[in-house]
Amino acid sequence: MLMNNLDVIVVGAGHAGIEAALAAVRLGARVLLLTSNLDHVGQMSCNPAIGGVGKGHLVKEIDALGGEMGLAIDETGIQFRTLNTRKGPAVRASRAQADKALYRQRMKSRLERTPGLGLRQGMVEQLLVAGRRVVGVVTETGERYEAGATVLTTGTFLRGLMHIGDAQMPGGRAGDLASRGLSAHLEALGLPVGRLKTGTCPRLDGRTIDFSRLEVQPGDLSPTPFSFRSAGLTQRQVPCHITWTTSQTHALIARNLERSAMYSGRIKSRGPRYCPSIEDKIVRFPDRERHQIFLEPEGLETVEIYPNGLSTSLPVDVQAAMVRTIPGLEQAEIVRPGYAIEYDFVDPRALHSSLECRTLERLFLAGQINGTTGYEEAAALGLMAGLNATRAVRAEPPVVLGRAEAYIGVMIDDLVSRGVGGEPYRMFTSRAEHRLLLREDNAHARLGGLATEIGLLDEPLARAVEARAQEAASLRALLQSTLIRPADETNQALTERASSPIRQPVRAIDLLRRPEADWALLRTLGVELPTDVESHHLSVLLDLKYAGYVDRQRVLADQVAGLDATLIPAWLDLSTLPGLSAEVRERLTGARPSTLGQAARAPGITPAAVATIALHLRRRAGERSRGGA
């Protein structure tokens, strides 16, 4: 592919960069993807897994928008599990272990086989800026590439500094160089650059682990693919194992805390609160007798094991001794030490909801440069940045997902209106106030129509999404029209399910609302259902069972949507607005909300303050209307 007449340049080929580039290409853009190391495209730098609570929801939404992550994990996953099966449907989530090498190879092959996408190795050091618009990039070797829009997905590479005990090594991750010049260049352009920290676990030689002493954690007997497009799961499935730290582990860590980069003062920035290092766990939870460790295989053709829960920045000798205090790991050998890494990010409050910079047109940011942590968060942001970068080049309005439409919308709104609060942002279902509307099972029903409308789905996939929606509508009509009449056989079947017998005809749709009723019961009662109803139409079942709650959340969502639809124009100076306290004005100036909804969700902003802003907007609108008349 020729490197001229480019529409979009994507910098970085991690999970954000991959989705950004592919989203832009699906819209017909000519895209260049630049990365510092072509051998590490799609690298899983930390745990070898995709999904989890909140994160699995993001992957399903990425898939509904035509993204690649769900397909990739389905093709390379070696254990699939559904989490929270005993809890409500809003928090049930999918998670899969990946063969890391296969995942990386599969993603690189996908990029290389994509028409309209150029893949090049190079470290970007500067942006080309004309006025207040970014028009391209310059690499460290002086190569210049120009395009209509640029997406930065730099991960942990901006002034990345790795810590293992007293040792400090510049790097974006183990084995890769850090980006030194770009971060300073972004600061010089006026972007608010901060510092965050994350970390990873040592990798163990599986041949030195006594698995006979460990608890086996198998995958699901009938695993469910992530992607709507998957033909099935093809890789051999393997178990994980569970072990625990001991009092000896905790005592050893406590004796060596001053040798940890985290507790020696060498690391100043904060890491993700919900993915703490083992040192953090010992300090923050001194009364806990043990902490769980999940031993996760890194692939089918490697002996490396990832001990999830053992992230650390202790010196290598302490890491080795620590590992050997854990049951089953008494003889375990470390093949790669764990480390902490500090890196620069840009305060996401400097972005519009489209992920475009407020002060630099046509520059979009996605992934850990936005202050997030996690492959799934990065991929979701990358997809939206690639989408909106392409639309900006075409002078089309950005696509902004609402908080009641998608977890992606919740995440972006949180980031641009609240920032990250000094620690990396991670997606949880608890962050969504309408999470019963945002289940994994209805992601395509929520987003498939939009994806088709804006061109993210090709024609065959768009037809498949529409066909699934029509099937769901037909199924609901069938349930509404089917009567189940009282009979001895019917009531016996109901009694066996601990369900009340019926004395008069009941519609199948009403019977299915009973907590104990399911598709199998309807089949027992003679209702002719589609053969794929269990796998394809879970959302129909759950919408019926939780109809009252779902309806109430929709009403609340509609009320909030009114605030989100009320724009705060640039000409309204919130820093001098009468009727607001100095503290509220300061908070609003920092948050820079673009809608009343964002103002309402900003930290420390009261309903009275929102009402004051709304009053000023109505008054100014009236004044302008009278002036125009």
On whether both 324 and 348 belong to a single domain, the answer is no
Is 77 contained in some domain?
no
Averaged pLDDT for residues 32-53? 96
Residue 527 lies in a domain: yes
Mention every residue, 6+ apart, whose C-beta is less than 8 A from residue 46: 198, 200, 201
Cα 337 to Cα 201: distance, rounded to the nearest angstrom: 7
pLDDT classification of 584: cutoffs 50, 70, 90: confident
Q: How far is residue 502's CA from residue 508's CA, in Å, rounded to a whole number?
A: 12
Q: Give the model confidence (pLDDT) of 209-236 as tens digits.
A: 999 999 999 999 989 999 989 988 989 9
**Tokens coding 195:** 């510092």
3-state secondary structure of 225: coil
Contact between 494 and 526 (Cβ < 8 Å): no
pLDDT class for 629, splitting at 50, 70, 90? very low
CA–CA separation, 404 and 398 (whole Å): 18
Q: Has residue 173 got a pLDDT over 90?
A: no
* pLDDT for residue 205: 98
The reply to whether 516 falls in a domain is: yes
Cα separation, 49 vs 53, in Å, equals 12
At 151, is the pLDDT very low, low, confident or very high (cuts 50, 70, 90)? very high
Gap between the Cα atoms of 19 and 387, Å rounded: 9
What CATH number did the domain enclosing 284 receive? 2.40.30.260
Identify the pLDDT of residue 546.
Answer: 87
Could you tell me if 436 and 480 lie in one domain? no
Q: What confidence category does residue 39 fall into, taking pLDDT thresholds of 50, 70 and 90?
A: very high
Q: How confident is the model at residue 624 (pLDDT cuts 50, 70, 90)?
A: low
Do residues 251 and 328 share a domain? yes
383, 439: one domain: yes
Chain CA centroid to CA 557, Å: 22
Per residue, the 3-state secondary structure of 499-523, as one string, reads: CCCCCCCEEHHHHCCCCCCCHHHHH
Within this chain, do residues 294 and 425 fall inside the same structural domain, yes or no? no
Q: Which two tokens stand for residue 482?
A: 């089917």
The CA distances from residue 169 to 172, 312, 316, 320, 384, in Å, are 10, 15, 14, 20, 33
Last residue of a domain, one of 489, 517, 550: 550
> Band of the pLDDT at 593, cuts 50, 70, 90?
confident
> Does the pLDDT value for residue 252 go beyond 90?
yes
Asked if residue 49 has pLDDT above 50, the reply is yes
We report the CATH number of the domain holding residue 592 as 1.10.150.570
SS3 per-residue string spanning 454-504: HCCCCHHHHHHHHHHHHHHHHHHHHHHHCEECCCHHHHHHHHHCCCCCCCC
Residue 465 inside a domain? The answer is: no
Evaluate whether residue 443 is within a structural domain. yes
Share of the chain above pLDDT 70, in %: 98
Q: How confident is the model at residue 619 (pLDDT cuts 50, 70, 90)?
A: confident
Between CA 360 and CA 129 the distance in angstroms is 9
239 part of a folded domain = yes
Residue where a domain terminates, one of 499, 517, 550: 550
Task: Report the pLDDT averaged over residues 571-599.
Answer: 82
Question: What is the domain range of residue 541?
Answer: 475-550
Verify that 175 and 220 share a domain, yes or no. Answer: no
The amino acid sitting at 357 is C
Q: For residue 313, give both structure tokens.
A: 């920045």
pLDDT of res. 1: 53
Q: Range with the lowest mean pLDDT among 29-43, 320-334, 530-544, 554-568?
A: 554-568
| Per-residue confidence (pLDDT) for residue 608, from 0 to 100 | 78
156 and 273 share one domain: no
- Residue 626: per-residue pLDDT: 58
Domain boundary among 339, 367, 388: 339
Whether 88 is in a domain gets the answer yes
> In this structure, are 297 and 404 located in the same domain?
no
pLDDT of res. 60? 97
Top mean pLDDT of 343-347, 550-554, 622-626 is at 343-347
- Two structure tokens written together for 268: 């100043």
Whether the predicted pLDDT of 119 surpasses 50: yes
Residue 510 identity (one-letter amino acid): D
Provide the b/e sequence for 220-257 (b: ≥16 CB within 10 Å): eeebbbbbbebeebebebebbbebbbeeebbebbeebe
Same domain, 440 and 523: no
> By the 8 A CB rule, do 17 and 401 touch?
no
Please state the rounded mean pLDDT for residues 401-407.
94
Q: Which uninterrupted H or E stretch holds 599?
A: helix 596-601
Q: How many domains does the structure of the chain reveal?
A: 4
Q: State pLDDT tens for residues 353-393.
A: 999 999 999 999 999 999 999 999 999 999 999 999 999 99
CATH code for the domain in which residue 450 is found: 3.50.50.60
* Confidence at residue 532, expressed as pLDDT on a 0 to 100 scale: 84
Confidence of residue 620 (pLDDT cuts 50, 70, 90): confident
**With bands split at pLDDT 50, 70 and 90, how would you rate the model's confidence at 191?**
very high
From CA 537, how far away is CA 527, in angstroms rounded? 16
- Let me know how many helices (H) and strands (E) the chain has, helices first: 21, 22
CATH number of domain containing 527: 1.10.10.1800
Domain check: are 238 and 317 in the same one? yes
Length of the chain: 629
Residue 289, Cβ density class (10 Å: 0-12 exposed, 13-18 middle, ≥19 buried): exposed
**Average pLDDT score over residue span 84-103:** 93
Judgement on whether residues 212 and 324 belong to the same structural domain of the protein: yes
The model's pLDDT over 483-526, given as tens digits with 9 standing for 90+, comes to 999 999 999 999 998 999 999 999 999 999 999 999 999 999 99
Over residues 2-29, mean pLDDT: 94
Q: What is the mean pLDDT of residues 16-25?
A: 98
The 3-state secondary structure of 270-309, one letter per residue: CCCCCCCCHHHHHHHCCCCCCCEEEEEECCCCCCEEEEEC
Q: Do residues 59 and 138 share a domain?
A: yes
CA distance 110 to 259: 43
Give domain status of residue 558, yes or no: no
